């Protein structure tokens, strides 16, 4: 479907997209394109980590093809070790001689025993090889203040302090740069079953002792709300309201998080990753579009206490969550990744771009073999598959650290999905230097859509486009067959006011505009 049929007339109805190229708004942080790797199923073991003696190509036990793929999409950060796993994880068990590390029970995900072969040093080696900044989630649920404080010291202190000396004894002389620090995870659920005010007090306490050492300034992220629990966000903001800032940043934490997943039906009946109906196509994309409402309302709560936007909002778990594939361990959360997942990702990024003044980071769940993974590995052959979601990340690299541009859409078609109105076109745009990138998503499963890009404020010197689509709504990639990957797109033409673009049914198009 990447090449337009010359005998197929483009759709008559057109949506107008007005973009003022000379009016940049706010920076789109590259950290909105972050990732999340938890000790869950085949995410770490059998995904990222294969071990030194593996027949699969690796660097220090880390799968080479995963490293290369994450570099291809310029993964800006990686969150670890969880997730629910974080609040059962005691970091001392994962440092030192691998052969001497104690085993542990992963009671959250499959009740399996792990050997702690992948720990702090292995994770930070992965980040170095990928070029990603580490985001570590500390243990608040079952850990202690001292344990978290000493982990930060172990990682980031350069002198002869007790924890720095321990790190050197384990083979690492220089400290690491670890900017992002999570104060637990889902404290309302698997992270401790806490009430909001109780956790808010703990977050202040743990953050106070998670100290910045030397030149490593910690950006502390409090474990935030589940979906639309706006009272939880308010409790966290109230806990730091009125505190004196230090170096312009509020104490004791600098951001709060929110988690929201997308299902085909509901949390209790998540639906299938493949073989879904057109109705489920619409429901899934409508559920994904709700992220805009969630960010608007959480941001409004934060704005009341923080009108100058000093406290960031971090969406450190998002993505599709369907029923696990038949024949796999249901606790390993392995699901196939289709074209539908790709469009869920593309509309999330459009939403993140619009909210980038408050939303400073986002982390897709998860990186390899779990939920909406960008990569899948074949257990037998070791082959690594780039999923449709991976390609949306790659196609959007031009938005990293670019300046957001408003996109005013006129004449957007929509459809009613249960109690919500779903716009069938989504768009966002950004600019940096002498270029701009426009992203266009057509959620209509059957109808091509024409978009008239009204580009104002700067002259167009040239343009090119790429498309991501397929013949089937649930098309996906496997080691034997690639059904979904980006291709050049030629159904685009110059007009007096900009560009005329046809976005194919269930398709995603990015337009790169060279500016004079």
DSSP secondary structure of 41-63:
TTSTBTTTB--TT-SS-EETTEE
Q: Among residues 38, 133, 186, 394, which one is catalytic?
A: 186
Question: What pLDDT is recorded for position 180?
Answer: 98
What does the block give as tokens for 72? 């291809």
Report the share of the chain in percent with pLDDT over 90.
92
- Angle among Cα 261, 255, 146 to the nearest 5 degrees reads 105
Q: How many angstroms separate the CA atoms of 159 and 73, rounded? A: 36
Strand partners, 78: 35, 134
H helix or E strand, kind and range, residue 221:
strand 219-226
Q: How many angstroms separate the CA atoms of 433 and 137, rounded? A: 36
Q: How many angstroms separate the CA atoms of 464 and 467, rounded? A: 11
Residue 407 sits at φ, ψ, to 5 deg, of -120, 110
Q: How many angstroms separate the CA atoms of 352 and 124, rounded? A: 27
Just give the CATH number of 30-401: 3.20.20.80
Q: Which of 309, 396, 311 is nearest to 351 (CA)?
A: 396
Q: Which three-class secondary structure state does DSSP give residue 274?
A: coil
Residue spans of alpha helices (H) in 210-317: 230-240, 278-289, 291-305
**Number of Cβ atoms within 10 Å of the Cβ of 110:** 14
Question: What pLDDT is recorded for position 245?
Answer: 64
The reply to whether 317 belongs to the active site is yes
State the pTM of this model: 0.95
Q: How many angstroms separate the CA atoms of 371 and 280, rounded? A: 18
Question: What pLDDT is recorded for position 382?
Answer: 86
Asked whether 136 and 210 are in contact (CB, 8 A), the reply is no
* Strands of 349-459, DSSP E: 359-365, 375-377, 384-386, 403-405, 407-410, 414-417, 420-423, 425-432, 435-442, 449-456
Q: Which of 70, 209, 189 is nearest to 138 (CA)?
A: 209
Residues contacting 268, CB < 8 A, separation 6+: none
Alpha-carbon distance values, 249 to 138, 164, 245 (Å): 21, 27, 5
In terms of CATH, what superfamily is 14-23+404-515?
Golgi alpha-mannosidase II (2.60.40.1180)
Q: Which three-class secondary structure state does DSSP give residue 239?
A: helix
3-state helix, strand, coil in the chain (%, to 5): 25, 30, 45
Question: What pLDDT is recorded for position 9?
Answer: 43
Chain region(s) in the chain for CATH 2.60.40.1180: 14-23+404-515
Low-confidence ranges of the chain (pLDDT < 50): 1-9
What does the block give as tokens for 474? 């649930």
Q: Which three-class secondary structure state does DSSP give residue 325?
A: coil
Q: How many angstroms separate the CA atoms of 410 and 497, rounded? A: 15
Question: What pLDDT is recorded for position 2?
Answer: 42
Residue 299 sits at φ, ψ, to 5 deg, of -65, -35
Question: What pLDDT is recorded for position 6?
Answer: 37
Strand partners, 420: 417
Q: At what angle do helices 339-354 and 388-395 cross, to 10 degrees?
A: 30
Asked whether 400 and 393 are in contact (CB, 8 A), the reply is no
How many Å separate Cα 1 from the centre of its chain? Answer: 28
Question: What pLDDT is recorded for position 4?
Answer: 39
Question: What pLDDT is recorded for position 356?
Answer: 98
Q: Which of 144, 131, 155, 126 is nearest to 214 (CA)?
A: 155
Q: How many angstroms separate the CA atoms of 423 and 20, rounded? A: 22
Alpha-carbon distance values, 270 to 127, 262, 264, 294 (Å): 32, 9, 6, 20
How many Å separate Cα 410 from the centre of its chain? Answer: 29
How many Å separate Cα 496 from the centre of its chain? Answer: 38
Question: What pLDDT is recorded for position 243?
Answer: 77
Q: Which of 333, 346, 515, 348 is nearest to 436 (CA)?
A: 515
Residues contacting 214, CB < 8 A, separation 6+: 156, 157, 158, 175
What does the block give as tokens for 508? 């995603």
Q: How many angstroms separate the CA atoms of 443 and 206, rounded? A: 44
Strands 312-320 and 14-20: unpaired
Question: What pLDDT is recorded for position 489?
Answer: 97
The reply to whether 419 belongs to the active site is no
Chain region(s) in the chain for CATH 3.20.20.80: 30-401
For residue range 286-301, what is the model confidence (pLDDT) as tens digits?
A: 999 999 999 999 999 9
Asked whether 414 and 483 are in contact (CB, 8 A), the reply is no
Query: Taking phi first (over 0 means left), then psi (-120 to 50 degrees means alpha), and beta for anything else, what does residue 131 get?
Result: left
Q: How many angstroms separate the CA atoms of 106 and 389, rounded? A: 28
Q: How many angstroms separate the CA atoms of 144 and 10, rounded? A: 62
- Angle among Cα 410, 412, 417 to the nearest 5 degrees reads 150
């Amino acid at each position: 479907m990447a090449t337009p049929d010359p005998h197929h007339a483009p759709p008559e109805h057109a949506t107008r997209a007005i973009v003022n190229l000379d009016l940049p708004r706010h920076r789109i942080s590259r950290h909105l394109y972050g990732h999340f790797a938890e000790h869950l199923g085949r995410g770490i073991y059998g995904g990222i980590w294969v071990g030194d003696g593996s027949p699969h190509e690796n660097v220090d036990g880390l799968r080479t093809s995963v490293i290369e793929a994450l570099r291809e999409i310029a993964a800006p950060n990686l969150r670890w070790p969880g997730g629910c796993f974080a609040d059962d994880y005691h970091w001392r068990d994962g440092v030192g001689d691998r052969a001497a590390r104690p085993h542990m029970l992963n009671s959250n995900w499959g009740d399996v025993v792990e050997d702690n072969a992948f720990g702090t040093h292995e994770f930070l080696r992965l980040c170095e090889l990928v070029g990603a900044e580490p985001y570590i989630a500390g243990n608040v649920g079952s850990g202690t203040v001292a344990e978290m404080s000493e982990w930060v010291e172990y990682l980031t202190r350069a002198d002869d302090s007790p924890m720095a000396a321990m790190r050197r004894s384990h083979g690492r002389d220089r400290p690491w740069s670890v900017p992002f620090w999570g104060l637990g995870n889902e404290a309302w659920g698997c992270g401790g079953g806490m009430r909001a005010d109780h956790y808010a007090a703990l977050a202040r306490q743990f953050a106070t002792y998670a100290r910045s050492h030397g030149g490593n300034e910690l950006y502390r992220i409090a474990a935030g709300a589940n979906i639309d629990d706006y009272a939880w966000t308010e409790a966290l903001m109230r806990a730091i309201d009125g505190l004196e800032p230090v170096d312009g940043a509020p104490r004791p934490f600098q951001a709060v998080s929110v988690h929201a997943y997308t299902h085909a039906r509901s949390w209790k009946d998540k639906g299938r990753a493949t073989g879904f109906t057109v109705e489920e196509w619409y429901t899934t994309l409508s559920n994904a579009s709700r992220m805009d409402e969630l960010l608007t309302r959480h941001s409004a709560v934060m704005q009341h206490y923080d009108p100058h936007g000093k406290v960031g909002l971090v969406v450190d778990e998002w993505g599709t969550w369907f029923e696990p594939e038949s024949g796999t361990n249901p606790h390993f959360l392995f699901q196939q990744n289709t074209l539908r997942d790709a469009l869920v990702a593309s509309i999330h990024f459009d939403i993140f771009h619009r909210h980038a003044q408050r939303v400073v980071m986002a982390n897709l769940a998860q990186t390899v073999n779990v939920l909406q993974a960008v990569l899948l590995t074949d257990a037998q052959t070791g082959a690594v598959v780039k999923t449709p979601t991976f390609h949306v990340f790659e196609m959007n690299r031009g938005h990293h650290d670019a300046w957001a541009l408003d996109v005013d859409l006129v004449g957007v078609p929509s459809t009613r999905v249960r109690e919500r109105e779903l716009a069938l076109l989504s768009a966002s745009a950004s600019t940096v230097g002498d270029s701009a990138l426009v992203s266009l998503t057509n959620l209509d499963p059957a109808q091509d859509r024409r978009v008239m890009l009204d580009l104002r404020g700067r002259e167009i010197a040239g343009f090119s486009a790429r498309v991501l689509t397929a013949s089937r709504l649930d098309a996906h990639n496997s080691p034997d067959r690639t059904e979904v990957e980006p291709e050049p797109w030629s159904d685009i033409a110059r007009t007096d006011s900009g560009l005329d673009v046809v976005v194919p049914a269930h398709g995603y198009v990015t337009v790169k505009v060279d500016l004079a």
